[in-house]
Structure 1
Amino acid sequence: MNKVDIRQFSLYAAWLVSVIATLGSLYFSEIRGFIPCELCWYQRILMYPLSLILGIATFQNDRSVKKYVLPTVVIGWCISLFHYLEQKVPGFAEIKPCANGVPCSAEYINWLGFITIPFLALIAFTLIIIFMLLIKKPNKIQ
């Protein structure tokens, strides 16, 4: 693979991850009936638009989208990490950003003892960050 192929693949892979994360989120809430907590909503607010933004960028081969996507994904990553720590680390459970509705420490799924919905979001945000970092600025002279 040459550099152009890796850049295009990275953009496509980031888009694919965002689509899978969005569809997975909708599956958990709309099909399985899991009610999202407040932190889940924040993660959704940051992930859902990426499906559209990265999709357009992929088909336009617009690598400049990195400067818009990367800050959004880093914020989502931080929220996902905080949410996961709140579920798994007892000290974080005392911090209560979720005042109403479903508690943020609730675990609808717990696969293999550590894979929860915020963990899945954390992985998705991490993968998108990696793929965005693999996209280099286009050369001025081509």
Structure 2
Amino acid sequence: MSATDDRSWTWLFSAWAVALVATLGALFIGEVMGQAPCVLCWYQRIAMFPLVITLGVGAFLSDRNAILHSAPLAVAGFGFAAFHSLLFYGIVPEAIQPCTATGPSCSDEAMTLFGIVPLPLLSLSAFAAILLCLFLVNRSRPS
């Protein structure tokens, strides 16, 4: 295995590790802490959970083409997380909020981890880290 292959595998593995930690964190918050996810959280989960599989298989097989399957999910998740963060901080007008009175609010105090760290910001950071790793995998391809 060449140094380029080693770097690609390292970045793929790193992206998988971020996706795994984010997925386990979401499950912990929902199942152990009992916090119901809002509508935007569900969309972010829909984008994050399959990344554990696509990136894991890609890292296991040292297949740099895993970015073809993973990047669209990461971009979509990043978009939802960015919108959710803007909504949480009150930058997006309340009139276009996707969360209704029937479910948890997308922007109240329940959207924080231990009352300190905003969950939308954690999700945005995870998707950004995955996208950075995928960019570095693609960059480490031989010319």
TM-score of the superposed pair, with normalisation by structure 1: 0.88
Contact 2:39 2:106 (8 Å CA) reproduced: yes
Please give the residue correspondences for 1:1-142 in structure 2 after superposition, counting only pairs within 5 Å.
Answer: 2-99=3-100, 100-108=102-110, 109=112, 115-136=117-138, 138-139=141-142
Deviation at 1:139, TM superposition (A): 3.9
Instruction: Name the amino acid aligned to 1:124.
Output: A
Percentage of identical aligned residues? 35
Deviation at 1:53, TM superposition (A): 1.2
Q: What is the count of residue pairs matched by the alignment?
A: 139
Deviation at 1:13, TM superposition (A): 0.2
SS in 2 for 1:30: helix
Contact 1:14 1:54 (8 Å CA) reproduced: yes
TM-score of the superposed pair, with normalisation by structure 2: 0.88
Note the aligned Cα RMSD (angstroms): 2.1
Query: Could you list the runs of 5+ residues in structure 2 that have no partner in the other structure?
Result: none
SS in 2 for 1:101: coil
Summarize the Cα distance change of 1:111–1:2 in structure 2 as closer, same or farther, 3 Å threshold: farther
Deviation at 1:90, TM superposition (A): 4.8
Instruction: Name the amino acid aligned to 2:104.
Output: V
Deviation at 1:106, TM superposition (A): 2.2
Instruction: Name the amino acid aligned to 2:132.
Output: I
Rounded to whole Å, the distance in 2 between the matches of 1:7 and 1:112 is 37
